[in-house]
């Protein structure tokens, strides 16, 4: 997919290039078409962004005016045990989301690759993707009640663990919620990988088959290297999405019990809208933004330099 | 022998994946009186599904909520996609000066997490009288749709030969007419794809709705479902599950109906 993006940059790029010289007969009407988008984005996205950044350096509870506090909020943030827990949980979400739904999506894609009725076999994994995060949370908090559906199933099969308090003990609650989110997200990853597999040229795959490669060897030496660019995209999207995990956790535990399953997104919401500590909530948002941007940039740069080395 | 393994593995995994859907449907179809939390796997043929859905509908007062959410999911992407397409058109067809950087500016609006804008929007909306109004939510959902629309439409318009634009100018068409009568009609598939993705996003949104609204008239459907769950999760589980099923039906149907468009669109690298 990255490759196609790169190709599509070209025509737009020429438009940009030719913009540097020559007459520009549509200057005003070009502005007319751009202004609504630029203004609305500036006022409702960038302005709030700057305001949050500013508030993160102040003490403010929504009433009166913000009071300059320097780095106090950031200091408070990194000395609060609840926030450290939230940080750890967010790290678990990122790691878990890279491993489970991405890995599982890849598995489903490879298993259904070049298979009769492959699309039908993929359908069960795609259905949860169309369900909202809230509905996923509703279903899974029902399944994961203590002594609920999962416990009953484990009990029947005779697997130990039936008496686990799935959503009440940390860090178990975070792990099971990662699985609930994986139930939703695996299908779309599978779909993306299938598209990647379909775009692999047939010749090298056939040549490898003729040479007797099949199964794991075929995957390891032909398919996997050719899927690398797509894997970059899928993993990158997963990292960014998992850093912002909110819906599923909010519905299933509200970050509890005792703030033990909070993620940064939940912490931000709680500090701001439940406890009215706007400055601290702002500091959490800024931190979340810095982490998100750093992660995406670092990840993309690493992948790009690796591809150059190949 | 090895040929049979793949379908079997996939079949077993598929059944495992469908188990939560089974549990959802079966337990949403039980009368609250017949429901037992100790026997959730037991199939139900009571057919109380529709009754429970009606019950969820009435308890959460969903008729007005569904109406509001439908308004948001239609107007938000519609406004967003038009404004985004305008930006794409100005950059590609009208060759806006420094167009690339204006594009980066608009697209940059989606780069940071939505948490960064929640609090100022909440405070600003309260000051401007937009808090807990439909207009306020339409506005925010439109803005959220702009950067992605600009991204897709800029790519899509790049694929339209510039001769098309020049020919229309020769014929004396105004830029607005070229945009409205030529470029937009040529981009049907991209517009529909953006519209569907953004409408689904808005229908499924929890965070913005939770932050910017509170009354039953304005609140979108996902916050309504969470409050249904926290109110009745203990006493009337089948009703809550029926509610969860009910609010998922539109997006699941839309997704199944349009799945092919997206596989094709993704393959072309357009989205």
Domain membership of residue A10 (yes or no) is no
Domain membership of residue A250 (yes or no) is yes
Query: Which is more confident, A2 or B202?
Result: B202
Domain membership of residue A9 (yes or no) is no
**Predicted ipTM of the assembly:** 0.85
Task: Specify whether the CB–CB gap between A15 and B91 falls below 8 A.
Answer: yes
CA R_g for chain A: 24
Residues of B with Cβ-Cβ distance to A281 under 8 angstroms: 119
Domain membership of residue B43 (yes or no) is no
**Residue B217 to residue B65: CA distance in whole angstroms:** 6
- CB atoms inside a 10 Å sphere around CB B9: 14
Domain membership of residue A104 (yes or no) is yes
User: Which one, of A153, A11, A162, A61, lies nearest residue B122 by Cα?
Assistant: A61
Domain membership of residue A164 (yes or no) is no
SS3 call for B53 = helix
CATH code, A65:
1.10.3720.10
**Residue A302 to residue A224: CA distance in whole angstroms:** 18
Q: Give the model confidence (pLDDT) of A2-17 as tens digits.
A: 333 333 334 443 444 4
Q: In angstroms, what separates the C-alpha of B85 from chain A's closest C-alpha?
A: 9
Return the pLDDT at B181.
Answer: 92
Query: Which is more confident, A270 or B27?
Result: A270
Domain membership of residue B10 (yes or no) is no
Question: Are B118 and A285 within 8 A, CB to CB?
Answer: yes
Domain membership of residue B61 (yes or no) is yes
Query: Which is more confident, B74 or B47?
Result: B74
**Residue B57 to residue B54: CA distance in whole angstroms:** 5
- For B101, name the nearest residue in chain A, comparing CA atoms only: A16
Residues of B with Cβ-Cβ distance to A269 under 8 angstroms: 115, 118, 207, 210-211
- For B126, name the nearest residue in chain A, comparing CA atoms only: A62
Question: What is the number of domains present in chain A?
Answer: 1
Best residue in B120, B175, B201 for a mutation probing chain A (most A CBs within 10 Å): B120
Closest Cβ opposite residue A37 in set B115, B146, B203: B146
Domain membership of residue A156 (yes or no) is no
Range of the domain at B154: 55-267
Range of the domain at A64: 28-135+171-309
Domain membership of residue B186 (yes or no) is yes
Domain membership of residue B156 (yes or no) is yes
Question: Are A141 and B237 within 8 A, CB to CB?
Answer: no
Assess whether pLDDT exceeds 60 at residue A21.
no
Question: Are B27 and A153 within 8 A, CB to CB?
Answer: no
Beta bridge pairs of residue A59: A67
Burial of B235 (0-12, 13-18, 19+ CB in 10 A): exposed
Domain membership of residue B153 (yes or no) is yes
CATH code, B135:
1.10.3720.10
| CA-to-CA dists, residue B122 to A52, A83, B32, B63, B71, angstroms | 11, 23, 38, 26, 21
Closest Cβ opposite residue A11 in set B97, B146, B158: B158
Domain membership of residue A7 (yes or no) is no
Return the pLDDT at B70.
Answer: 93
Summary mean pLDDT of chain A: 83
Question: What is the number of domains present in chain B?
Answer: 1
Residues of B with Cβ-Cβ distance to A194 under 8 angstroms: 263
Question: Cα B162 vs. chain centroid, distance in angstroms?
Answer: 33
Count of A-B CB contacts under 8 Å: 286
Average confidence (pLDDT) over B139-145: 94
Domain membership of residue B23 (yes or no) is no
Closest Cβ opposite residue B99 in set A19, A48, A115: A19
Domain membership of residue A131 (yes or no) is yes
- For A287, name the nearest residue in chain B, comparing CA atoms only: B116
Looking from the CA of A55 toward its CB, the CA atoms found within 13 Å total 28
User: Which one, of A165, A132, A133, A159, lies nearest residue A146 by Cα?
Assistant: A165
SS3 call for B213 = coil
> DSSP of A159-177, one letter per residue?
-S-TT--TTTSTTHHHHHH
């Amino acid at each position: 997919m990255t490759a196609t993006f790169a190709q599509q940059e070209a025509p737009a790029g020429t438009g940009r290039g030719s913009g540097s010289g020559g007459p520009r007969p549509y200057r005003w009407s070009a502005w007319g078409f751009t202004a609504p988008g630029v203004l609305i984005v500036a006022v409702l996205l960038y302005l709030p962004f700057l305001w949050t950044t500013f508030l993160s350096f102040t003490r403010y509870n929504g009433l009166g005016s913000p009071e300059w506090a320097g780095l106090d909020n950031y200091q408070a943030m990194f000395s609060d045990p609840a926030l450290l827990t939230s940080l750890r949980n967010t790290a678990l979400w990122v790691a878990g989301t890279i491993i489970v739904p991405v890995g599982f999506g890849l598995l489903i894609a490879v298993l259904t690759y070049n298979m009769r009725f492959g699309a039908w076999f993929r359908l069960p994994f795609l259905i949860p993707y169309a369900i909202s995060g809230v509905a996923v949370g509703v279903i899974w908090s029902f399944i994961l009640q203590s002594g609920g559906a999962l416990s009953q199933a484990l009990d029947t099969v005779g697997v130990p663990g039936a008496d686990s308090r799935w959503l009440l003990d940390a860090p178990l609650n975070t792990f099971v919620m990662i699985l609930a989110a994986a139930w939703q997200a695996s299908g779309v990853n599978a779909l993306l990988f299938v598209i990647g597999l379909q775009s692999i040229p047939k010749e090298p795959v056939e040549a490898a088959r003729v040479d007797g490669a099949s199964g794991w060897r075929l995957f390891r030496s032909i398919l996997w290297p050719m899927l690398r660019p797509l894997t970059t995209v899928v993993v990158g999207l997963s990292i960014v999405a998992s850093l912002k995990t909110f819906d599923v956790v909010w519905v299933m535990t509200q970050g509890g019990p005792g703030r033990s399953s909070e993620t940064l997104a939940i912490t931000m919401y709680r500090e701001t809208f439940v406890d009215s500590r706007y400055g601290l909530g702002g500091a959490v948002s800024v931190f979340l933004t810095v982490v998100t941007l750093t992660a995406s940039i670092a990840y993309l740069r690493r992948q790009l330099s690796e591809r150059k080395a190949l | 022998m090895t040929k049979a393994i793949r379908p079997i593995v996939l079949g077993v995994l598929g059944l495992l994946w469908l188990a939560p859907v089974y549990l959802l449907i079966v337990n949403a179809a039980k009368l609250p009186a017949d429901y037992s939390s100790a026997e959730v796997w037991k199939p139900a043929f009571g057919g109380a599904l529709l009754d429970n859905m009606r019950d969820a509908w009435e308890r959460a007062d969903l008729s007005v909520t569904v109406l509001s959410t439908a308004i948001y999911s239609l107007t938000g992407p519609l406004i967003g996609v038009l404004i985004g397409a305008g930006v794409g058109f100005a950059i590609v067809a009208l060759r806006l000066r420094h167009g690339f950087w204006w594009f980066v500016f608009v697209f940059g609006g989606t780069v940071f997490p939505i948490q960064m804008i929640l609090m100022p929007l909440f405070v600003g909306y309260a000051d401007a009288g937009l808090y807990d109004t439909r207009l306020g939510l339409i506005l925010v959902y439109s803005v959220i749709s702009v950067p992605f629309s600009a991204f897709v439409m800029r790519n899509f318009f790049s694929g339209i030969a510039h001769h098309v634009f020049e020919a229309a100018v020769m014929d004396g068409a105004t830029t607005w007419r070229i945009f409205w009568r030529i470029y937009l009609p040529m981009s049907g598939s991209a517009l529909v794809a953006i519209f569907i993705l953004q409408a689904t996003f808005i229908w499924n949104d929890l965070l913005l709705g939770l932050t910017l609204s509170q009354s039953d008239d304005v609140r979108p459907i996902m916050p309504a479902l969470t409050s249904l769950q926290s109110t009745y999760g203990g006493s009337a589980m089948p009703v809550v599950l029926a509610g969860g099923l009910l609010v998922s039906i539109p997006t699941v149907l839309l997704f199944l109906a349009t799945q092919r468009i997206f596989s094709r669109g993704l393959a072309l690298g357009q989205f």
